[in-house]
Amino acid sequence: MYFYAARQPILDAEKKLFAYELLFRDSVNNVFPDIDEDEATTRMIEGSEFNLGLAHLTNNKPAFINFTLDTILENYPSMLPPETLVVEILETVTPTKKLLEAVKVLKQQGYVLALDDYEHKPVWRHFFPFIDIVKIDLRAMNFDDVEQVMLDLAEFTHIEFLAEKVETLTEFEQCKKMGFKYFQGYFFSKPEIVKTKTLSLNQLKLSELLAETSSEQVNVPKITEMFESDINLSYKLLRYCNSAAFKLRADISTIKQGIVMLGNYELKKFLSLLFIASISSNKPQELLRLAMVRAHFCENLAELDQSCDSSMAFLTGMLSLIDAILDQDIKTVMEQLPLSSEIKEALINKKGKLATFLNLAIAYERGEWEQESILKSSLQLSEAQVPTIYAKAINWTHDQISFIGDND
């Protein structure tokens, strides 16, 4: 399953990138899908925020996103930070008192507001004190009418004008002379498709649980509630508590008891295992298997070294193939996950002790013996320790794979 979005650049008079307009798509076909506008807005917000991320979609520039009347009244824009978003009020929206009140609230919250494909009507005058940008479609209005609109709005000096569907150099130059500040259209660039894998609700919940267990102050009641709201997760937790991989000395009668008895360290390992297993379900199992071997290998090295948290080492190994699993570059993936700076530094920049552990695992699995020898010496490991630890990791992975297979 993938999330698709088309993005079209919005430039200033110097042809420098100012922002992107994001347009919902449901396939690589660069046309608007046959769905309700409310659904398109909702899916765009969900996809841009929870899957690829606005920062990646727009290169940290503002995102212009279309909003319908219902999505504005439901305050959907507040799901995205005001500094990242320009709220485009669609041309199909009827200007009403309810809309005006909602616009005032959005303005108070710090959002930039734009009127999309503006049609000149007296009723919009009530909105102009709160509007920042007026977008004018050059294909729907001739230059004489455009000039009249700009004259009528001249008293609202804070309003900036954006020319849409600029298709020729002549139109671009004419708009600049008339006082337009921003420009958008095929003269500059057609919308390009951006594609990313989406995470299911279950995967998003696992990601959230990973974030919770990574906090300094673990909120056991909240984690318990999240498990109890998902029968599948609850079942897997109880099975794990009772598995050969983790033997407890007492029977488990509640979810909270299982969480407490596992402890934060083992719980974090369990969740990271489920997360990677879930997102790699459509990939060759060898990717999951290799990630698990690396995880346990790095964990054991950290326990010997004692200079860093072994659970962080485990998670570093487990996430070392997430770019291949999600078909995205590692930096993009790391921007979307609430991980420690040490883990991100290891996975993105290959630096730090965690990176040394991971690089040793990779060198050993690939048979790069010169590199393996250098890294082994840097960690003061004997000749026998590395193969022993690696064999241990393989055996652990075999047991865990069996557990996952029994419970999926």
Look at residue 310 and give its three-state secondary structure: helix
Report which of 267, 318, 329 is spatially closest to residue 295, judged by C-alpha positions: 318
The reported pLDDT for the residue numbered 369 is 83
The reported pLDDT for the residue numbered 378 is 94
Look at residue 199 and give its three-state secondary structure: coil
Question: How do residues 70-88 score in pLDDT, each as one tens digit?
Answer: 889 988 888 888 988 899 9
**Distance of alpha carbon 181 from alpha carbon 153, whole angstroms:** 15
- Helix then strand count (H, E) for the chain reads 18, 9
The reported pLDDT for the residue numbered 407 is 44
- Domains of the chain plus CATH, in order, are 2-197 (3.20.20.450), 200-279 (no CATH), 280-408 (no CATH)
The DSSP code for 141 is S
Per-residue pLDDT of the chain (408 residues; tens, 9 = 90+): 444 455 678 889 888 889 888 775 443 333 333 445 555 555 555 555 444 456 656 767 888 988 988 889 988 888 888 988 899 998 888 899 999 999 999 999 999 999 999 998 888 999 999 999 999 999 999 999 999 999 999 999 999 999 998 888 788 889 999 999 999 886 655 554 555 555 565 666 777 777 677 655 677 888 888 887 777 777 777 777 766 555 555 566 678 888 887 787 788 778 877 777 777 766 666 678 888 889 999 999 999 988 888 888 988 998 888 877 777 778 887 877 767 788 899 999 999 999 999 999 998 887 788 898 999 999 999 888 988 898 888 888 877 776 555 444
Which residues, at least 6 apart from 344, have a Cβ–Cβ distance to it below 8 Å?
A: 334
The reported pLDDT for the residue numbered 163 is 95
